Amino acid sequence: MIDDAITRHVARLARLGLTEDEVVRMQHELSAILEYVDQVQGLELADIVPTTHAIPLSNVLREDVPTPSVSAELALREGPNVTADGFTVPRMG
Amino acid sequence: MALTDFSAEEQIAAVVAGETSSVELVAAHLARVEHDEWNSFLAVDRERALARAKEIDGLATRPPLAGVPIAIKDALSTRDLVTTAGSKMLEGFRPIYTATCVARLEAAGAVIIGKTNMDEFAMGSSTENSAYGPTLNPWDLTRVPGGSSGGSASSVAARQVPWSLGSDTGGSIRQPAALCGIVGMKPTYGAISRYGLIAFASSLDQVGPFARTVRDAALLLSHMVGRDPMDATSLEWTEPIRVPSATRLDGVRVGVIEELMSDGIEPGVRAACQSTIDMVEALGGTVVPIALPHAGYGLATYYLIAPAEASANLARFDGIRYGHRTADADVLLEHYERTRAEGFGPEVKRRIMLGTFALSSGYYDAYYGQAQRVRTLIMRDFAEAFAQVDVVASPTSPSTAFRLGERTADPLSMYLSDICTIPISLAGLPSLSIPCGLSEGLPVGLQLAGPAFSENRLLEVAHALELAIGFDDAPQGVGV
């Protein structure tokens, strides 16, 4: 059910580079997993409300209290490629 | 007995009585951490741990946890202390803040001794998906400790620490606790702030304790629960967590989940669990068989919901702000694809692909949408069960610890390791695993679960059973 084209399309959506070997292996593994999870398709679910969150919560708000921010220096500390005041990014294309 | 054989509670009492000090405790455990034949640890924080212990020893009033050491799963951010989540993607990464639950334990006087090994980004059931090599089970070094919190479980079983923190998305605390012969608890979803927990599947992720006694697990939990402004899903916790003392089960109705005591469970595991269930009536409780008709769909549901959420959460690893960055990519798309190809391991790639597919246009309703509806049915099954019983019981894992390499070739066979824990995770319920005996020399875990917010009753039931079982938690060659 997962063919070569879908595998490549999904990898592109996920911004995940795959080798040719990985494309083949992923196609087989995902097909096997989807074959297993397909059992949920047999259930009558039209009238069932989907659960997004196991514990009911709504409109979780807090007071807007100003607190100190992270310094630019600290925020940039773990960046693998930074300039004095920002993260560097390759050109778009 | 060595200092490292004592429970955390006993260690605290010994400090308070002046029989030992935090420095002595930390040093004794560091000696075992630094001789880590199980590969439990990814980072050790020796200097800071000893400095903190010295500081606590000097205080006029000792904090409640008295400077007893703890290990933290590497999925939890610790400021300035390398945190990798078991991934090459975060090799050398030093967080700029500490997870709320860890900060609360430090404030209560726990001393962080190091970070524990885990399946990469908590995806796995054996700790073999760690980019830094597998953790070994202290009961048998040829076997896995379970996962994903395998290092946290092995470190407690091997007496490198008296207790530790893990995280549980589909069973990642309870299953390794079972396989290592210790106690592991996943509280109600939202009980503990997830702020600073590296996200896997946000509607399921929950932090929880590992310990060698139910009382220690309760004590650790008591210092972590409650609302945190930094996590909008964290819950107000009105009834404090109590350290349990029950020795009887008078009036307690225990439901045995029939679907999880069947053929899919190893006979030795079933036998050990059954012998514990047989103790319930002698302790004053009643045993009722319980059906969860949709539990069998739990695994399929989980393997749509969790990867879908993971694929969104892991989009942040882009090689720009932190973590691995590929060398010399010319354009942005190439930069992303190469960074992620190089940084992620095979299981993480598999789940990102599966989740991206389940969320993609044309498939969303048929997969993610359907899975969320089945999740509703599973929750209803539990609600009906808890109309009849106070707690439900089942094996924690369908098997005892399996051999290294046994399930790595077949992703589905690995996923089946979590068949008993996943339905409870999907329903957001509190649950713990306690050791209930041995099968062919390997520990078996009994899983107990209750309605949301029933932690105190669950801990009392677990404590009474723990006393009745009298499990000897020392693996051969380790400890007393």
Cβ <8 Å between B332 and A89: yes
- Per DSSP (E only), the strands in B212-283 are 253-257
pLDDT above 80 for B198:
yes
Cβ <8 Å between B304 and A75: no
Classify B392 as helix, strand or coil.
strand
Span between the terminal Cα atoms of chain A, in Å: 33
Helix then strand then coil, in percent of chain B rounded to 5, is: 40, 15, 45
Q: How many helices (H) and strands (E) does chain B have?
A: 15, 11
In Å, how far is B170's CA from the nearest CA of chain A?
A: 14
For residue B148, indicate whether it is catalytic.
Answer: yes
Copy the structure tokens of residue B465: 């059973």
Using CB atoms, which residue from B350, B373, B429 is nearest to A29?
B350
For residue B172, indicate whether it is catalytic.
Answer: yes
pLDDT per residue as tens digits for the range B126-153: 999 999 999 999 999 999 999 999 999 9
How much is the pLDDT for B480? 58
pLDDT per residue as tens digits for the range B356-404: 999 999 999 989 999 999 999 999 999 999 999 999 999 999 999 999 9
Give the C-alpha separation, A38 to B312, whole Å: 22
Complex confidence, ipTM: 0.96
Residues in chain A, total: 93
Copy the structure tokens of residue B118: 């885990």
Do B371 and B301 meet the contact criterion of CB atoms below 8 Å apart?
yes
Give the C-alpha separation, B128 to B150, whole Å: 9
Question: φ, ψ for residue B290 (rounded to 5)?
Answer: -125, 135
Low-confidence ranges of chain A (pLDDT < 70): none
Q: Any idea where the domains of chain B sit in the sequence?
A: 3-245
Residue from B126, B164, B167, B172 carrying the catalytic annotation: B172
DSSP-derived letter for residue B89 is G
In Å, how far is B237's CA from the nearest CA of chain A?
A: 13
Give the C-alpha separation, B356 to B360, whole Å: 6
What is the fold of A1-43?
A: Histone, subunit A (1.10.20)
pLDDT per residue as tens digits for the range B33-56: 999 999 999 999 999 999 999 999
Q: What angle, 0 to 180 degrees and rounded to 10, lies between the N-to-C axes of helices A4-13 and A20-37?
A: 100
Q: What Å distances lie between residue B420 and B231, B260, B272, CA to CA?
A: 28, 7, 15
Classify B125 as helix, strand or coil.
coil
Q: How many helices (H) and strands (E) does chain A have?
A: 3, 2
Give the C-alpha separation, B197 to B99, whole Å: 6
Question: φ, ψ for residue B430 (rounded to 5)?
Answer: -75, 145
For residue B374, the surrounding DSSP H or E stretch is helix B370-385
Q: Identify the bridge partners of residue B382 per DSSP, sorted by sequence position.
A: none
At A42, which amino acid appears?
G
pLDDT per residue as tens digits for the range B425-440: 999 999 999 999 999 9
pLDDT per residue as tens digits for the range B54-88: 999 999 999 999 999 999 999 999 999 999 999 99
In terms of DSSP H, where are the helices of chain A? Answer: 4-13, 20-37, 72-76
Lowest mean pLDDT among A34-38, B171-175, B333-337, B347-351: A34-38
pLDDT per residue as tens digits for the range A13-35: 999 999 999 999 999 999 999 99
Cβ <8 Å between B357 and A51: no
- The CA angle B403-B408-B409, to the nearest 5 degrees, is 125
Q: Identify the bridge partners of residue B449 per DSSP, sorted by sequence position.
A: B392, B431
Give the C-alpha separation, B310 to B174, whole Å: 20
Cα–chain-centroid distance for residue B24? 28
Do B179 and B269 meet the contact criterion of CB atoms below 8 Å apart?
no
Give the C-alpha separation, B466 to B356, whole Å: 43
For residue B73, indicate whether it is catalytic.
Answer: yes
Interface probe for A, chosen from B91, B349, B407 (most Cβ of A below 10 Å), is B349
% of chain A surpassing 70 pLDDT: 100
pLDDT per residue as tens digits for the range B82-112: 999 999 999 999 999 999 999 999 999 999 9
Give the C-alpha separation, B124 to B145, whole Å: 11
What is the fold of B3-245?
A: Amidase signature (AS) enzymes (3.90.1300)
pLDDT per residue as tens digits for the range B239-298: 999 999 999 999 999 999 999 999 899 999 999 999 999 999 999 999 999 999 999 999
Q: What Å distances lie between residue A76 and A57, A72, B77, B98, B326, CA to CA?
A: 35, 6, 17, 17, 18
Give the C-alpha separation, B425 to B225, whole Å: 18
Token pair 């930074």: residue = A82
Do A17 and B337 meet the contact criterion of CB atoms below 8 Å apart?
yes
At B208, which amino acid appears?
G
In terms of DSSP H, where are the helices of B278-321? Answer: 298-313
Taking the Cβ of residue B54 and every Cβ of chain A, the question of whether any pair is shorter than 8 Å is answered with: no
Give the C-alpha separation, B396 to B431, whole Å: 10
Q: What Å distances lie between residue B178 and B248, B307, B339, B434, CA to CA?
A: 23, 24, 36, 7
Classify B192 as helix, strand or coil.
strand
Question: φ, ψ for residue B345 (rounded to 5)?
Answer: -90, 175
How much is the pLDDT for A19? 97
Give the C-alpha separation, B145 to B403, whole Å: 9
In chain A, the largest separation of any two C-alpha atoms, in whole Å, equals 58
Question: Please, which residues 272-311 of chain B have a Cβ atom closer than 8 Å to chain A?
Answer: 297, 299-301, 303-304, 311
Do B342 and B326 meet the contact criterion of CB atoms below 8 Å apart?
yes
- Per DSSP (E only), the strands in B312-429 are 391-395
* CB hemisphere CA count around A73 (13 angstroms): 0
Give the C-alpha separation, B55 to B49, whole Å: 10
Do A15 and B332 meet the contact criterion of CB atoms below 8 Å apart?
no
Residue A48's nearest CA partner among B301, B309, B431, B386 is B301
pLDDT per residue as tens digits for the range B290-325: 999 999 999 999 999 999 999 999 999 999 999 999
Using CB atoms, which residue from A13, A38, A49 is nearest to B376?
A49
Using CB atoms, which residue from B332, B357, B429 is nearest to A93?
B332
Taking the Cβ of residue B334 and every Cβ of chain A, the question of whether any pair is shorter than 8 Å is answered with: yes
Residue B118: CB partners within 8 Å, gap ≥ 6? B73, B74, B75, B85, B86, B127, B130, B147, B148, B149, B150, B151, B152
Do B127 and B147 meet the contact criterion of CB atoms below 8 Å apart?
yes
